[in-house]
Structure 1
Amino acid sequence: MTLPVTLLAFGMSMDAFAAAIGKGTALNRPGLREAMRIGLIFGVIEFITPLLGWLLGQTAAQYVSHWDHWIAFVLLCFLGGRMILSGARPASGEPVVLQRHPFWVLAVTGIATSIDAFAIGVGLAFLDVPIIPAAIAIGMATFIMTTLGVLLGRVLGKLAGRQAEILGGVLLIVIGAVILKEHMLPAA
């Protein structure tokens, strides 16, 4: 694996890392096993999306590139808003402690943070970069960074309590806004 592919792989994993911190803060002391489960879900999605981009190629890219940032923005805002509402909801009786995120919530978050990997897959097709090693590198980097992000979120969640879930939701919305901004503003 070349240095550019390694750097690309870790660059692609940064959105997932930030989202994983938010997911980790919302859980009740997630252990390594849960962190690895979340990392695996995000990693597999991040492995698949550049493959899909590669397969769909230039034809789909001209259509998807016009709205991929909006899809990511809406999904991340929806999930972030859900986390904020959950964290802001007054505690009634015993607090509800989230032991594990539902698969569908993790999958939607993983998809939202990996839409850019789809476009990267299209770009790699034009650069004649072998897609399988690149997709494996992106998936592995995302697995590692997401697992670390959940564990970091565990520490932050322990320190911040219920506000951590609100912070995690805000973080997802900020990620969505950054994705939207990067696509809406011309490159400097």
Structure 2
Amino acid sequence: MDFWTSLVIAVGLAMDAFAVSLGIGTTDAARTPRPIFRLSFHFGLFQGGMTLLGWLLGSTVAHLISAVDHWIALALLAFVGIRMIKSGLSPDEDRCGCADPSRGGTLVMLCVATSLDAMAVGLGMAMLSMNVWAASLLIGVVTLGLSLVGLLIGQSLGAHFGKKMEIVGGLILTGIGVRILLSHLLV
């Protein structure tokens, strides 16, 4: 696989992480450099890592995972999205106490949910005897970059439109989960 093909695959895989980053950027959780770095870095790490994992797992295990990966992605993204919507609808003094999306379990859920497709790409690379190391690195770097851009654009939208954007962000996350589910069920 040449560089340009790998780049197109990397951008395609990074789109879910970009959209999730856009939604998270609208909240107060990603306003300082530290959470922005954590989110971008981990989205990139998981995308590249899941590509490698798919390559390593081979066809037997990946087939079992692919039967339910879309349901897992929907559940994880809807869980975080609904919490963001709840937070956006509650008054400032009565916030829902949503977990910081740049830490702990919420971060892991978002990273796994947005990188499950990368595992299938890694499996395809194994079947085609491709250089998975270079492709995984490129996928990780592109995802990191697009996640950073999504967070920054989301911040701008959130600062301009306020809590309404947190609701929109939650709807985006939930919508991405539904889109992933439908794309697998309708194929």
- Mean CA deviation greater in 75-84 or 28-37: 28-37
Q: Does structure 1 residue 120 correspond to structure 2 residue 121?
A: yes
Which moved further from structure 2: 55-64 or 136-145? 55-64
Count how many residue pairs are aligned between Structure 1 and Structure 2.
186
Distance 1:179 1:100 in 2: 20
**Aligned with 1:129: secondary structure?**
coil
Q: CA shift at 1:103, angstroms?
A: 3.6
Structure 2 segments unaligned to the other structure (5+ residues): none
Output one character per residue of 1:103-139: Cα deviation in whole Å (capped at 9) or x when no partner.
4322211110100101111111111111111110110
Deviations 1:4-55 (A, max 9, x none): 1111011110000000001110126724554233110111111111111111
Q: State whether structure 2 residue 6 is matched by structure 1 residue 5.
A: yes
Percent pairwise identity: 39
How much has 1:101 moved relative to structure 2?
A: 3.5
Report whether the alignment pairs 1:109 with 2:132: no
TM-score, scaled relative to structure 2: 0.91
* Cα distance in 1, alignment partners of residues 30 and 141 from structure 2: 24
**2:18–2:146 contact (8 Å) kept in structure 1:** yes
Letter in 2 for 1:164: M
Q: TM-score, normalised by structure 1?
A: 0.91
1:10-159 correspondence runs (5 A): 10-27=11-28, 30-92=31-93, 101-159=102-160
> 1:92 aligns to what SS in structure 2?
helix
CA distance in structure 1 between the aligned counterparts of 2:113 and 2:142, rounded to whole angstroms: 17
* Contact 1:27 1:100 (8 Å CA) reproduced: no
Asked if the contact 2:85/2:170 (under 8 Å) is kept, the reply is yes
The C-alpha deviation readout for 1:53-95, integer Å capped at 9, x for no partner, is 111110112211111111101110111011111111123279x
- CA RMSD, 1 decimal: 2.2
Aligned residues of 1:27 and 1:99 also touching (Cα < 8 A): no
What letter corresponds to residue 181 of structure 2 in structure 1? L
Q: C-alpha displacement at 1:99, in angstroms?
A: 8.4
Asked if the contact 2:21–2:151 (Cα under 8 Å) also holds between the matched residues in 1, the reply is yes
**2:163 paired residue number:** 162
What letter matches 2:7 in structure 1? T
- Considering fraction of residues, name the structure with more helix: 2
Question: Is the deviation greater in 30-39 or in 120-129?
Answer: 30-39
SS in 2 for 1:128: coil
Unaligned runs of 5+ in 1: none
Find the aligned partners of 1:32 and 1:13 in 2 and give their Cα distance: 21
Deviation at 1:160, TM superposition (A): 1.4
